[in-house]
Amino acid sequence: MFVDECVIKVQAGDGGRGCIAFRREKYEPWGGPNGGDGGKGGDVVLVGDDDTNNLIDYKFRPHWKGERGEHGLGKDCNGREGKPCILKLPLGTIVINVDTGQPVAELTEDGQHIVLCKGGNGGWGNTHFKTSTNRAPKHANPGHPGEAGVFRLVLKSIADVGLVGFPNAGKSSLTNAITKAHPRMAAYPFTTLHPQIGVIEFPDTNQRLLLADIPGLIEGASDNRGLGHRFLRHIERCAVLVFIIDMAGVDDRDPYDDYQTLLNELGLYSKDLLKKPRLVAANKMDLPEAKAMLAKFKRRHKVPVVEISCTKKTGLEKLTKTLLKKVIALKGADHVAVKR
C-alpha cells in the first residue's frame, strides 16, 4: 500500500515537576532546601530517511507523543530528560500545520533533523527559592507543558527524472528495463496504481539517477479524473520530464494528439511543469507503423526524441545517457555521483 498524504497529531513531552525537599543529615542542624529540578520533556523530531519511501506508518498510527520529563528528586538531583519522539519520514515530505494551512517543515536530505514540537521545560526545585529571609521555601514550580499540534504530511517524491504517459504506453516496461524497480506489467491499462521510484545506475562512471514512474494520465487528469491526477505532485521536483509515447499508434491512438494532451494536462496542473526540460521516448519502434508515425510527429513537434523499444530492449542505453547528460547540466556532476 502506498500512502503519500496523511494527518498526524503530535504532542511533545511535558516537563517534570520541581521537587520540595530538605537536607536531614547528622551534624547539619540548619539543613536547608535541596529539591532538584524537573527534567525537560522529550521533543517531537522529524528525521529525513532515505530508506523510507511512503507514509504508511503514519496513516494507521496518527498519534505520536514525546516522553514526559522525570520529576526532580531530593539531594539536588535533577530529573532525567524525556526521550524524544523520532518520526522518520521519506525525503520530499512537506509538513503543513492544519490550523494555519502553512508549511512548517520540509525534509530534503538524508539524516536531516527538524524539531517539530519542543518539549516543556522542567520546573524549578525549592532550592531556587531560598533567600536570606526565606531559608526553608516550601514550594516548587510545576513542569511546563510540551508543544502540540495537528499536521498534514504530504509527500512529493525527490527524483531526477519524471516519467509520464498514457496508460499502456510502456512506462512500467521502461522502468523495469532501465532500473531495479519492478513495477507491475500487463497488457491492460492502469497496471501502475502508485508512483514507482527506481534507480538508473551507471556502473562505469559510478553515477546514478532517480526515476519516478507516475501512474498513467488520461485527458482530464488535472480535474481529478483517472489515477494520475493525485500523483502529479511527484514530478514537481524532477529536473527532466520524459514523455513516453506509443509511436506505433496502437488502439488507433495518434502520437501527436497524445503528446499534446499530456502537455495540456501538465500545464493545467502547474505552468511550472511546462518550463522543465523534456524529451520524448518514442516507444514501440520495433513495429512497422512506427517509422511513419515518428516522421509525422517530428514535423509537428520540435522536441528531442529518442527512439526505443521496451520489448526489444533497443535505444535504452542512448536514452539513459541522454538523461544523465541533461541532469548533470542542470544539477552538476556531484549530484549524480554515488555516495560512498
Residue 198: the pLDDT is 82
Is 253 within 8 Å of 261 (Cβ atoms)? no
% of the chain surpassing 70 pLDDT: 90
User: Which tens digit of pLDDT belongs to each residue from 59-77?
Assistant: 999 999 999 999 999 999 9
Is 164 within 8 Å of 235 (Cβ atoms)? yes
Closest CA to 65 of 14, 129, 25: 14
- The enclosing H or E element of 19 equals none
Closest CA to 129 of 250, 287, 18: 18
What residues pair up with 5 in beta bridges, in sequence order? 154
Dist CA 132 CA 104 (whole Å): 47
What residues pair up with 305 in beta bridges, in sequence order? 280
Is 137 within 8 Å of 33 (Cβ atoms)? yes
* Cβ atoms within 10 Å of 338's Cβ, excluding its own: 12
Residue 219: the pLDDT is 55
pLDDT tier at 191, thresholds 50, 70, 90: very low
User: Which tens digit of pLDDT belongs to each residue from 234-292?
Assistant: 888 889 999 999 998 777 778 888 899 888 888 888 888 899 999 999 999 999 888 99
pLDDT tier at 227, thresholds 50, 70, 90: very low
User: Which tens digit of pLDDT belongs to each residue from 321-332?
Assistant: 999 999 999 888
Interhelix angle 171-178/316-331, nearest 10 degrees = 80
Q: Which residue has the higher pLDDT, 339 or 158?
A: 158
Torsions phi, psi of 112, nearest 5? -65, 130
DSSP line for 140-151: -PPPPPPPEEEE
Closest CA to 71 of 149, 2, 14, 131: 14
Confidence check: pLDDT of 30 > 60:
yes
**Could you give the domains of the chain?**
5-155 (2.70.210.12), 161-336 (3.40.50.300)
Residue 184: the pLDDT is 47
What residues pair up with 97 in beta bridges, in sequence order? 151
Dist CA 90 CA 140 (whole Å): 43
Residue 229: the pLDDT is 57
In whole angstroms, how large is the CA radius of gyration of the chain? 29
Residue 224: the pLDDT is 52
DSSP line for 31-48: --B-PPPPPPPPPEEEEE
C-alpha grid cell for residue 310? 521496451
* Average pLDDT, rounded, for the chain: 86
Dist CA 29 CA 136 (whole Å): 13
SS (H, E, C) 103-130: EEEEECCCCCEEEEECCCCCCCCHHHHC
pTM of the model: 0.76
C-alpha grid cell for residue 78? 535533577
